[in-house]
Amino acid sequence: MTPPPALLAQPDAVVLDLPVTSGEAAIRALHAKLAALPAVTDAELLLRDLMERAAMSSVCISPEVALPHARTAAVSRLVLAVGRAAPAVPFDAGHPAVRLVILIGTPKKQVTEYLQLVAGTVRLLKNEKVRAALLAAPTEAEFRAVLARGLAG
Amino acid sequence: MKTASAAAPEFLRRLVRLLRWRLWIAEKLHPTEWQTTLLWAGLAGFLGALVSLLFSGLAEGIHEFLTGSSAGVVESMRQLPWWACIAVPATGGLLAGLVLQFGKKLTRSQSSTDYMEAIVIGTGHLPVRASLVKSTAALFSIGSGGSIGREGPMVQLAAMVASYLGRLQQFTPPQLRLLVACGAAAGIASAYNAPIAGSFFVAEIILGTIAMESLGPLAVSAVVAALTVRALTNAAQLYHVPAFRLNSPWEMGPYIVLGLTTGVVAPWFLRSLRAAERAFVATRLPLVVRLVIGGALVGVLAIRVPEVCGNGYSVVVDILNGNLSNLVFGLGLPSHHLAWVALALVFVCKWIATAASFGSGAPGGVFTPSLFMGASVGYLFGTAVNAVWPAGAPDPGAFALVGMGAFLSAASRAPVMAVIMLFEMTLSYDIVLPLLLCSVLAYYTAKGIEEQSLYSESLQRKSAEQPAAALPARRVAELMKADPPVLPVAARFAEIAERFLAVRVNNLYVVDEAGRFLGVVSLHDIKPYLGEPEVAELVLARDILHEDFPRLSPDQSLSEALGGFLGIAAERLPVVEPGGRLIGSLAKGDLLLTLVEKRKTPVPGGTAA
């Protein structure tokens, strides 16, 4: 099995220009990209769990990065979608200009893996150079390459 | 969507730092609940030793005050005029009676002070005020020369301190009972400087089991107590004895007869104590008057035979060392050849004096007086054999030593403890073969004569009076601890860290608004991320919830509950009602202790220390 942080280098979906104007819309757009995956056994439940979690407490880890996530019975493995918003979208009152959105769905039993993935994502996106490279990547391939390089280096 | 709460980062950093320290200590020491129990047992041992020493010092002070002499009990009584010999123990009885009488007002609503009762049929709760009243009364009985042991109240006090300590820590009944047992072991270890025997006394007589779950803490407590006493006083082995040897296998013949003899005498000794108690109660006199009469009776005997006073320790030392000239000289006998006559006289008088003290209700123990009875029977028997067959009993002192162990075994119905105690008190291994044989023979002989020992009868009576209390828990609901620490499902990392710091658990239970159990948050899950504040700020309890954590039902049997602990490294499991509401938690330690308690015999034989 791929170590959870390494999953970040191979997201199930990447959307470089999220056509949204709010955090909720960003979650819905990324969820829509994951809904067709065989690992998503109940797309509706996944969305509900993601929204419920986001409503409970902020999912932003920095002014321009949000990490909507949910531990849910709707997925059979960790699923991951990454989106880039241009222009920035408001996620909540404390985070009015989010540029990067990383959406995670985790099977209920995988607490350790979930924490590893979240921690790996947080570590990677703390790096200003990586963030800047992700925001500047012209293509999906380059975007994925930045993620892979960031995790490797 | 909600905004992240503006938690002060500094506060979170401090919490995380504290939690990391806690984890570092936990990882280095790995303290399980059992190891924590050992720490409390050690503290109970230390405090037990201190109160034992305090009691001993106070008893000596009172004796000095009443007799005006700092010599031993027997010597100071020997120096008193005849009227003072009567007045001192009678005054002690009066003071003890008054303390008990007035103490009743202070302790009216308090439960029994007996530590054996608290362990065997109680919850481990020993009331402080009532115990102090009883111990103060015992100080006067013992300090005035009553024929009773000071060791009983010392053990009682040590057990009371342990009980108080456990209640402060909100121990569950099984834990509290074990801690009180540790206190008792500490008291015995302090009194006799015998940590192994102290552990086995409680294990064999009171708990009725030598399972490691209970013997381990008992041993730790007893060792700490013995070390404390040795550090604070010049304590060495209690009885210094010459080297005894088994010269010929033929000597085992007389030893066998000695075992049978002590096995007959011990039950009669205990019966006589009960009879004296009944006789005093039958007088319908107030307790104060009974105690004065009991003290006066001892005093009358002490005019000619001061050896009846106290617990008999100094006389036993003389007997074991064959140094009976004091007895002969004190009784005014013309020849040293009549030493056995002197000892026989002291033996009879001591028996009567102990019955008078015990029967009148003087608080104290009969453990050390039992040692005196055994030493006397052994020495007299050895002397008789020596007179007709010198090779069969070349040294009556050896018979005295073996007699002590055999008598103790027959009286306490704890042969293993008796052998170990004799060995520890004398550090004489050479005589262990006849000692072991005699103790076992005395035990079986006494058991054939009298099924009950003095204490077991009292315990069985009290068990019958409160049958529910005597039964160990059978269902999870009876053993669980209510109101476990919980977290709301939306608890943020700071709150989770705070709870883990406040309570020593590895799993926190998460409940919803209705109190329904949702799962647990594990300390080990969050441990690797304590240095990452961004993760800490992002995570909620629901994000790291283990929903498949095993849970128990309140109606489950204890054996079924034990199955719940299989395959999981948890010290506690949540107890959840059929509707899903969390109502408590069950500790694995409590469960194992209770299962051990259930295995023991209902009420073991024993005598009050």
Each residue's pLDDT tens digit, A96-152? 889 999 999 999 888 888 888 888 888 888 888 988 999 999 999 999 999 888 877
Query: Are A109 and B543 an interchain contact pair (Cβ–Cβ within 8 Å)?
Result: no
pLDDT of B513 strictly over 80:
yes
Mean pLDDT of A55-59: 88
**Which position has the token pair 């008088």?**
B349
Between strands B481-482 and B572-576, the pairing is unpaired
Cβ atoms of residues B421 and B374 within 8 Å: no
Query: Are A67 and B492 an interchain contact pair (Cβ–Cβ within 8 Å)?
Result: no
Mean pLDDT of B144-171: 90
Chain B CB contacts of A111 under 8 Å are 522, 525, 544-546
% helix / strand / coil in chain A, to the nearest 5?
A: 45, 25, 30
**Cα distances (Å, whole numbers) of residue A118 to A7, A8, B178, B291, B538:** 11, 10, 46, 77, 9
Query: Are A71 and B548 an interchain contact pair (Cβ–Cβ within 8 Å)?
Result: no
Query: Are B548 and A56 an interchain contact pair (Cβ–Cβ within 8 Å)?
Result: no
> Does the CB of A100 have a partner CB in chain B at under 8 Å?
no
Q: Report the first-to-last Cα separation within chain B, whole angstroms.
A: 71
For chain A, the maximum distance between any two Cα atoms, rounded to a whole number of angstroms, is 38
Name residues 105-144 of chain A within 8 A of B (Cβ).
108-109, 111-112, 114-115, 118-119, 122-123, 126
pLDDT of B404 strictly over 80:
yes
d(CA B382, CA B388): 10
Chain A: give the shortest CA distance to residue B162, in Å. 42
Report pTM: 0.69
Helix ranges, B144-194 (H): 151-168, 173-192
Name the residue among A23, A67, A111 with its Cβ closest to that of B1: A23
Query: Are A123 and B540 an interchain contact pair (Cβ–Cβ within 8 Å)?
Result: no
**Percentage with pLDDT > 90 across chain B:** 35
Cβ atoms of residues A62 and A125 within 8 Å: yes
Q: Which of B474, B473, B496, B499 is nearest to B484 (CA)?
A: B499
**Which position has the token pair 């005029």?**
B81
pLDDT of B206 strictly over 90:
no
Q: How many CB atoms lie within 10 A of CB B265?
A: 25
Chain B: give the shortest CA distance to residue A102, in Å. 13
Least confident of A63-72, B71-80, B135-144, B565-574: B565-574
Chain B CB contacts of A112 under 8 Å are 525
> Does the CB of A96 have a partner CB in chain B at under 8 Å?
no
Query: Are B543 and A114 an interchain contact pair (Cβ–Cβ within 8 Å)?
Result: yes
pLDDT of A2 strictly over 60:
no
ipTM: 0.85
Chain A CB contacts of B542 under 8 Å are 53, 56, 71
Query: Are B3 and A114 an interchain contact pair (Cβ–Cβ within 8 Å)?
Result: no
More confident residue, B44 or B30: B44
Average of per-residue pLDDT values in chain B: 84
Name the residue among A57, A111, A118 with its Cβ closest to that of B2: A57
The sign of the torsion formed by the CA atoms of A88, A90, A94, A100 equals negative
Q: How many CB atoms lie within 10 A of CB B513?
A: 8
> Does the CB of B535 have a partner CB in chain A at under 8 Å?
yes
Query: Are B540 and A57 an interchain contact pair (Cβ–Cβ within 8 Å)?
Result: yes
Q: What pLDDT score does B454 carry?
A: 57
Each residue's pLDDT tens digit, A38-54? 999 999 999 999 999 99
Q: What pLDDT score does A96 carry?
A: 86
Cβ atoms of residues A52 and A120 within 8 Å: no
pLDDT of B109 strictly over 80:
no
Each residue's pLDDT tens digit, B281-302? 999 899 999 999 999 999 999 9
Each residue's pLDDT tens digit, B308-321? 998 888 888 888 88
Chain B CB contacts of A60 under 8 Å are 4
> Does the CB of B520 have a partner CB in chain A at under 8 Å?
no
Chain B: give the shortest CA distance to residue A33, in Å. 22
Q: Which of B338, B350, B348 is nearest to B302 (CA)?
A: B350
Chain B CB contacts of A23 under 8 Å are 1
Chain B: give the shortest CA distance to residue A150, in Å. 18
For A66, name the nearest residue in chain B, comparing CA atoms only: B538
Mean pLDDT of B416-421: 88
Cβ atoms of residues B344 and B380 within 8 Å: yes
Query: Residue B290 corresponds to which tokens in the numbers above?
Result: 């009974």
d(CA A78, CA A104): 7
Chain A CB contacts of B519 under 8 Å are none
Local confidence band at B609 (pLDDT 50, 70, 90 cut-offs): very low
Mean pLDDT of B445-450: 89
Chain B CB contacts of A123 under 8 Å are 532
pLDDT of B512 strictly over 60:
yes
d(CA B31, CA B39): 10
> Does the CB of B513 have a partner CB in chain A at under 8 Å?
no
Q: Which of B203, B235, B205, B230 is nearest to B216 (CA)?
A: B203
Q: What pLDDT score does B118 carry?
A: 75
**Cα distances (Å, whole numbers) of residue B55 to B50, B62, B151, B202:** 9, 11, 9, 21
> Does the CB of A48 have a partner CB in chain B at under 8 Å?
no
Q: What pLDDT score does B604 carry?
A: 43
Query: Are A92 and B4 an interchain contact pair (Cβ–Cβ within 8 Å)?
Result: yes
Name the residue among A108, A112, A118 with its Cβ closest to that of B538: A118
d(CA B59, CA B274): 26
d(CA B602, CA A123): 62
Name the residue among A94, A111, A112 with its Cβ closest to that of B4: A94
Mean pLDDT of A3-8: 69
Query: Residue A57 corresponds to which tokens in the numbers above?
Result: 């407490």
Local confidence band at B336 (pLDDT 50, 70, 90 cut-offs): low
Query: Are B1 and A54 an interchain contact pair (Cβ–Cβ within 8 Å)?
Result: yes
User: Which of A10-19, B26-35, B325-334: highest mean pLDDT?
Assistant: A10-19
The sign of the torsion formed by the CA atoms of B413, B415, B416, B419 equals positive
More confident residue, B391 or B115: B391
Contacts of B365 (CB under 8 A, 6+ apart): B148, B149, B150, B151, B152, B153, B155, B608, B609
Chain B: give the shortest CA distance to residue A16, in Å. 23
pLDDT of B457 strictly over 80:
no
Query: Are A119 and B535 an interchain contact pair (Cβ–Cβ within 8 Å)?
Result: yes
Least confident of A100-109, B88-97, B406-415, B457-466: B457-466
Name residues 539-578 of chain B within 8 A of A (Cβ).
539-540, 542-548
Contacts of B232 (CB under 8 A, 6+ apart): B49, B53
Each residue's pLDDT tens digit, B537-589? 788 898 888 888 889 999 988 888 888 887 777 888 999 999 899 999 998 87
Q: Report the first-to-last Cα separation within chain A, whole angstroms.
A: 21
Each residue's pLDDT tens digit, B60-94? 999 999 888 888 888 888 888 989 999 999 999 99
